[in-house]
Amino acid sequence: MTRRHLFATLSLLGLLSSSVLGCSKSDPSTVTSSGGATVTSSSGVINVIANDKGFIPSSVAVKKGASTTLVFTRTTDDTCAKEVVFPELKVTKELPLNQKVAFDVPAADARTLTFQCGMGMFKGKVVIE
């Protein structure tokens, strides 16, 4: 199996498991899931699920200057991740249950942006390289 086929298979498995594990991913650069698999795409959109385990994926790598949107979806009431906070940017977005909430990543400069739930219990990051 070629590396490209392996990534396609992992991507498909990630999408199929989204209903079970709450993990969905795609991006013009790179997304690292909690399982360590790396998936690439040209869509410019990264789906991030907020559930009882936190944010999935919790670490996202974005190419500097790439137009990227994180789309957060909270899939359960059994979580404190009812909002997402980007402390460095002073941005807070409510996460209504089962509704997509878009956030355009400011990727002009190389840096790491953190995001977290309102209580700071669940954390994630966007690494702009």
Domain boundaries, the chain: 3-128
CA of residue 5 relative to chain centroid, distance: 23
pLDDT band at 4 (very low <50, low <70, confident <90, very high): very low
What is the average pLDDT across 100-124? 96
Confidence of residue 43 (pLDDT cuts 50, 70, 90): low
Whether residue 103 has pLDDT greater than 80: yes
Share of the chain above pLDDT 90, in %: 61
127: burial class by Cβ within 10 Å (0-12, 13-18, 19+)? middle
Question: Which superfamily does CATH assign the domain made up of 3-128 to?
Answer: Cupredoxins -  blue copper proteins (2.60.40.420)
User: Predicted confidence band at 15 (pLDDT cuts at 50, 70, 90)?
Assistant: very low
What's the pTM?
Answer: 0.69
